[in-house]
Amino acid sequence: MSDTSSKKQVVLLVDDDQFLLNMYSLKFKNSGFDVEAVNSASTALQKLRDGFLPSMILCDLVMPTMDGLTFIKQLKEERLARGSAIVVLSNQSQSSDLDQAKALSVDGYIVKASTIPSEVVEEVKTILAKKK
């Protein structure tokens, strides 16, 4: 039996903002995570369909082509990334967005504008610890 506690946690970042992808990738890598960063929901879906299984999926809501809520719905419908924690990382702080995300049973909702990157990493660690 292999020891899973020594295995690195893998975070899939989905955001159309390359600057943010780079910044969060660096923050997570510096905190001991493996990071896969993609700039569209359709790219993320393809990776997951191909068998990629991250510990955590962090996704933005506002993206071209496919928004974050549609992406999460698709994940659930296709039963992809089962066991992965799903967290919305967005500037959308309206309660309607929050309600829709909660209806999709996301594990967390972080508002970018009011959270510094190191706090995002800490929040992710907390959510992952609860999910074990």
pLDDT tens figures, 67-101 = 999 999 999 999 999 999 999 999 888 889 899 99
pLDDT of amino acid 60:
96
Sorted by where each begins, the domain ranges of the chain are 7-131
Burial label, 72 (beta-carbon count in 10 A; 0-12, 13-18, 19+): buried
pLDDT digits (tens, 9 = 90+) for 7-26: 789 999 999 999 999 999 99
Query: Which CATH code for domain 7-131?
Result: 3.40.50.2300
Q: Between vectors from CA 22 to CA 97 and to CA 65, what angle results, nearest 5°?
A: 45
Q: Is the pLDDT of residue 108 over 90?
A: yes
For the whole model, what pTM was predicted? 0.91
